[in-house]
Amino acid sequence: MPNLKEVRNRIKSVNSTQQITKAMKMVSAAKLRRAQDAVIQMRPYSQKLSSIMANVSAGVSIDLSENPYSEERVVEKVLIVCITSDRGLCGAFNGNVVKAVNTLIASKYSAQAAKGNVWVMPLGKKGNDYFSKRKVNHVTDYVGIFQKLNFEEVRKVAEVVMKGFVDHSFDRVELVFNEFKNVATQIVRTAQFLPLQQDVTTTSQNSTTIDYIFEPSKEEIVKELIPKSLKLAFYSALLESNASEHGARMTAMDKATENAGELLKDLKLTYNRSRQASITKEILEIVGGAEALASA
């Protein structure tokens, strides 16, 4: 039987841990609401911008391959934007993204990696901590982006990435992030950010074309909308990841609280059994002593 003092100390420790995990769950729930609202509020704007862009580009005789963000070239240098969190205790949230980045490099860009032409831009401290210990080129200038997550800050990072592509510093840019589905489910997404894929900038034949009045020309508007849509897509990925992080942490802390409760039940049962065994032993000793005295 375990020592009663040891069991009492362990019960106290688990109880303290349970209070911490419960508090963290409540904090994550509050942050999740704000992050989820940001995602929901951003989606109509994103969808409307995509709709306008599709309608404007429909019937416009523009060779999109001439756009600097749509230039297809031989992939020699690759940038992978790895979006993780700054803090842990969120289950497999960060591990899944890091695993997806490693899988992407191994399966798609192994030749470039062998030449040292793959760079990773970790947005989030956990991703930076991982890749800083590996033999991977990584860009660490924007690790703390989540400390002040807003469109203006994200726009600066997106512009740096877009400029790197236009200047031929990178031939392809990939985004790896968690997409928010619900509190319990986050889906790891790998999306090509640059070059801009043709189907992103064109509309299908079944789409309804709206008759807009253009000022200035259609061509200039399309060229203006493309960088805006790219920055918005970059911001959207960060918002999705931010909401996913809080959802993952909320779920992890909820499960940890439940597990602590189960462990407390087992510890209390063990404590009561040990206590009863101790009392029974003392009674037997007293009875045995009394019988010994009576027979003496």
| Alpha-carbon span 102 to 95, nearest angstrom | 11
Cβ proximity of 58 and 209 under 8 Å: yes
Q: Quote the pLDDT of residue 209.
A: 57
Q: Average the pLDDT over each of 22-36, 39-53, 152-166 and give the range with the smallest value.
A: 39-53
- Per the structure block, which two tokens stand in for 30? 């509050």
| Alpha-carbon span 30 to 28, nearest angstrom | 5
Domain boundaries, the chain: 4-25+253-295, 28-250
pLDDT band with cut points at 50, 70 and 90 for residue 204: very low
Q: Across-strand partners of 123? A: 83
What CATH number has the domain spanning 4-25+253-295? 1.10.287.80
Q: Average the pLDDT over each of 77-86, 89-98, 116-125, 275-284 and give the range with the smallest value.
A: 275-284
Residue 67: CA atoms inside 13 Å, Cβ hemisphere, count? 24
Is the preceding peptide bond at 216 cis, omega within 30 degrees of 0? yes
Active-site positions?
90
Tell me: pLDDT of 100 over 80.
yes
Q: Quote the pLDDT of residue 210.
A: 60
Mean pLDDT throughout 239-267?
95
pLDDT band with cut points at 50, 70 and 90 for residue 203: very low
Cα–Cα distances in Å, from 19 out to 24, 218, 227? 9, 60, 47
Mean pLDDT throughout 179-200?
85
User: Which stretch, 11-20, 45-54, 268-277, has highest mean pLDDT?
Assistant: 11-20
pLDDT band with cut points at 50, 70 and 90 for residue 20: very high
Q: What angle do CA 146, 147, 148 make, to 5 degrees?
A: 90
- Per the structure block, which two tokens stand in for 103? 């899988």
Widest CA span of the chain, in angstroms?
117
| Alpha-carbon span 263 to 11, nearest angstrom | 9
* End-to-end CA gap in the chain: 34
Beta strand pairing status for 78-83 and 172-182? parallel
- Per the structure block, which two tokens stand in for 268? 């209390």
Strand ranges (DSSP E) for the chain? 78-83, 118-123, 137-138, 172-182, 185-194
With b meaning 16 or more CB within 10 Å and e meaning fewer, what string describes 114-147?
A: eeebbbbbbbbbbbbbbbeeeebebbeebbebbe
Cβ proximity of 136 and 120 under 8 Å: yes
Classify the phi-psi angles of 2: left when phi > 0, otherwise alpha if psi is within -120 to 50, otherwise beta. beta
Mean pLDDT throughout 238-242?
95
Mean pLDDT throughout 236-256?
95
Q: Average the pLDDT over each of 65-69, 81-85, 116-120, 207-211 and give the range with the smallest value.
A: 207-211
- Per the structure block, which two tokens stand in for 289? 């002593």
Cβ proximity of 242 and 97 under 8 Å: no
What CATH number has the domain spanning 28-250? 3.40.1380.10
Cβ proximity of 113 and 77 under 8 Å: no
